[in-house]
Structure 1
């Protein structure tokens, strides 16, 4: 496994890749991490520049219960610039009373940002629970909303 890191609008971001794909994302620096000079780094930079709305790098998730993996798969289905409540995700994975369990699965997501746990919000629309902190979550959601509006406006005005 090789760690790399890059500066982003939400601070330093580190990620690990192996021969299969990206297997971890970490908010903050990682000792011994090298430069982000690969496809993962390129896609992260494009995401933050508003040029990428869906990651296509191969993923290599090395852990997680069956429930957690189901939640992570649901997160990948949430469109760029949209959100879902913890309860809605729980219902989607067949556990309608499992909003708290979804929150735990979000917290254990090994690939935040790439598997977009920041798109999960409280039932009342409030920003709650994000391993990278609520300020980062707000910045990510605002970035996506801005890019989505720009893309829709471009489509509308064409």
Structure 2
């Protein structure tokens, strides 16, 4: 007579997953840790490597596809490890509460290169609550005529919010497009304008 094993409980699965994360971290086998957090602009996927935050993705970017891309471009050793991103989640909470103007977490920009990387590296120079045009960013990145390329670099910025591509707008001051959706960009600009006025 065979016996049916007892079903695994949610608590046991949680404990097993925590053990897996701990062992992978201790053995240097966790190349990409990730978690999702709620935010005023929808659920965000956060991912980090040992070097820093490598990806912030909006729900409209399809979190499952983003994880697959990380597995292909960074490492297949991708694991949900929420505690590894506690500092990033905390800084994002502070940002959305209007209590943080800049991010201090380290950033890993391996997913961008060439001129696009140069653009992304210049984005933190745009002060909180201020904007710069695509043309101004092109000039600061060393290629004044590369306005369209700046738009592409912002659209493909792997770490939006932490690296503020939402502060780049059209020359006429209108927001322009945004990887997280046009409404998200408008909400971020309004948040920063409101906090800036209150300061």
How high is the TM-score relative to the length of structure 1? 0.90
**2:141 maps to what in 1?**
93
Give yes or no for the alignment of 1:111 onto 2:159: yes
**1:57 maps to what in 2?**
105
Give yes or no for the alignment of 1:6 onto 2:37: yes
**1:81 maps to what in 2?**
129
After superposition, the C-alpha distances for 1:45-70 in whole angstroms (9 at most, x for unaligned) are: 10001110000000111122221111
Is the 8 Å Cα contact of residues 133 and 173 (structure 2) preserved in structure 1? Answer: yes
Query: Bigger radius of gyration, 1 or 2?
Result: 2
After superposition, the C-alpha distances for 1:49-94 in whole angstroms (9 at most, x for unaligned) are: 1110000000111122221111011111000000000001011112
Structure whose residues are more often helix by fraction = 2
Deviation at 1:103, TM superposition (A): 0.3
2:51 to 1, 7, 20: 20
1:13-52 correspondence runs (5 A): 13-28=44-59, 30=63, 33=80, 35=82, 38-52=86-100
**2:69 maps to what in 1?**
none
> Matched residues in 1 for 2:49 and 2:123: separation?
23
**2:3 maps to what in 1?**
none
Q: Quick check: 55-64 or 77-86, which moved more? A: 55-64
> Superposition RMSD on alpha carbons, in Å?
1.6
Structure 1 pair 99–110 and aligned structure 2 pair: CA distance change class (3 A)? same
Q: Secondary structure at the match of 2:38?
A: strand
> Matched residues in 2 for 1:44 and 1:73: separation?
19
Question: Unpaired runs of 5+ in structure 2?
Answer: 1-31, 65-78
Aligned length, in residue pairs: 151
Is the 8 Å Cα contact of residues 47 and 54 (structure 2) preserved in structure 1? Answer: yes
**1:139 maps to what in 2?**
187
Is the 8 Å Cα contact of residues 27 and 132 (structure 1) preserved in structure 2? Answer: yes
Is the 8 Å Cα contact of residues 75 and 117 (structure 1) preserved in structure 2? Answer: yes
> Matched residues in 2 for 1:133 and 1:8: separation?
14
